Structure 1
């Protein structure tokens, strides 16, 4: 059995795909398959990938269906003992497979999480999020379960590219990325993490995330409309896995904050559309058993956002309401 299946979804990635693929071929451990899912690219992406003469590369061409569907197609045919993900504008450090696979095999982990380093115009940088600084020294060199991370679960990086997964584990829990939306990493992370029984961390930088103008988080555009459905899926994951009560306080704050920050920063032409998506979501929440939990557990800023959305009839009215000061009536 191949040790690692690397799944690389790509859409119009001609500027960066060659370096991404080369970082896989240059690995110190060569027992892998690279599954490149060309998600309807209209540039020379497919030709660039086809130009690599290496039997370990599998190129799948499909109509554009989005990153979640592309990753799921890769998972369908993956045959490695472990699975790793690579974004088309990033790259692996040359010993990433050897170190990650060594950790996963030694400790028989469902998920092992490693560090990411950021790259921007020739400069490398680190941050707490990608450096796993929320995991103190008591988590190093041992196996742990997800509930040991209860106090900082929502401060863990959700990036699928920062983990190595046991493929058998993913198959057993039927792990799939949400399709048709962006921010698909987030629900996938929480679903797999909560299902895992054996987790470990690797305090080594094994992956380089490149910042550039086309990166998904560099411009707050229409993609951020998907913070609403992603949050809805997240709630379902916690409820269906009997984890809602345990994580209620932080879960509700996390769900509110995604669309709240998106509405603050999204391009002006999308603000009314995003407001209406949030409004529809909150009106639906009023009809569930969880409505009172929002009112009773949100902090003042998030409580005001939640109630101002419900009190307003359109975005302009909401903006007027939200500019006034008030406190939760508790």
Structure 2
């Protein structure tokens, strides 16, 4: 049985998948398995995957089901003591698995954060930012183990990306951790469920992961995929409510739920604005009929509260724009 299972999901990644796989097979830590999910690619992705001859590779090839379903399927067959995730357009530093495994194993963590570094595909520039550098964790969190309640800031300032952590496989299975299926932004509800279930967390202040920024990146182009900020936020609310975490975190939770679709509606491509508005309105009207409506009114700051109320009271998207600019 391998010590680490690496789950790599890919949809039409012919330009990048080779480098991603090579970065895994060339790791200084060799006791691993690589589970590659070809998620219905229509380009040469599958041919490139099949061009690698390494007994550590397990291939799942399926009709397109999205990243959440792909990761759930791979996790079911993972045999490693720990699990890491890699996107098909990114890659690891040469010793990433070795460093992550020894930290997680040595401190017996449920999961461990590590730093990511950004790569601009157009310019070739490598650059850092605070979000992926984990700067919200000061030096008191280094070389120790903690849990979410030990962090005095907002947990909603943490990086939610699934690929920025190594996870104890038994822990994920014990808590029945699953990604939402059929939507994008599946990392976010998964992360908060795992975070608040975890008793032992640590951080590694080293750049182990290279995150490629390019024109087709999911988070780079604000297109109709961002309609899924609404169901992702609904799933997040469900998780907090059903697990008894709502009251402890509601002030920041409600702001976080509002801000995702709010910023998406501001920035999304023109042809997606009305569909997104309609999804948000349906969600907010449902909230208005629920016992949580008053919490939104009492806990949201003035800008978010106005957005919330303007969506509810507007007749259509144009009317909302008029109200919200007032």
TM-score (norm 2): 0.98
Q: How does 1:39-50 map to 2 (within 5 A)?
A: 39-50=39-50
How far off its partner does 1:150 sit?
4.6
SS at match of 1:151: coil
CA distance in 2, matches of 1:189, 1:260: 21
C-alpha separation in 2, matches of 1:225 and 1:10: 21
1:210 has 2:212 as partner = yes
Q: How does 1:1-330 map to 2 (within 5 A)?
A: 1-120=1-120, 121-324=123-326
Any unmatched runs of 5+ in structure 2? none
The number of equivalent residue pairs is: 324
Cα distance in 1 for partners of 2:196, 2:164 equals 16
RMSD: 0.7
Query: Partner of 2:42: helix, strand, or coil?
Result: coil
Give 3-state SS (helix, strand or coil) of 2:87's partner.
coil
| TM superposition shift of 1:152 | 2.4
Q: How far apart in 2 are the matches of 1:81 and 1:52?
A: 24
Conservation of the 8 A alpha-carbon contact between 1:150 and 1:247:
no
Q: CA deviation at 1:240?
A: 1.2
Residue 63 of structure 1 deviates from its aligned partner by 0.4
**TM-score scaled by length of structure 1:** 0.97
Contact 1:17 1:45 in 2 (8 A): yes
How far apart in 1 are the matches of 2:111 and 2:234? 24
Q: Give SS of 1:204's match.
A: strand
Q: Distance in 1 between matches of 2:228 and 2:258?
A: 13
Deviation by residue 1:219-270 (Cα, 9 ceiling, x = unmatched): 1101000000000000011111111111111100000000000000001111
Deviations 1:6-55 (A, max 9, x none): 00010011000000000001100000000000000111111101110100
Q: Give the whole-Å Cα distance in 2 for the aligned partners of 1:14 and 1:103.
A: 33
**In structure 1, how many angstroms separate the alpha carbons of the residues matched to 2:183 and 2:48?**
27
Partners of 1:116 and 1:206 within 8 A in 2: yes
Structure 1 alignment gaps of length 5 or more: 325-330
Q: In structure 2, how many angstroms separate the alpha carbons of the residues matched to 1:148 and 1:128?
A: 21
Q: 238-247 vs 219-228, which deviates more? A: 238-247
Runs of 4+ in 1 over 2 A off after TM superposition: none
- How far apart, in 2, do the equivalents of 1:258 and 1:116 lie? 22
Distance (Å, rounded) in 2 between the aligned partners of 1:114 and 1:152: 19
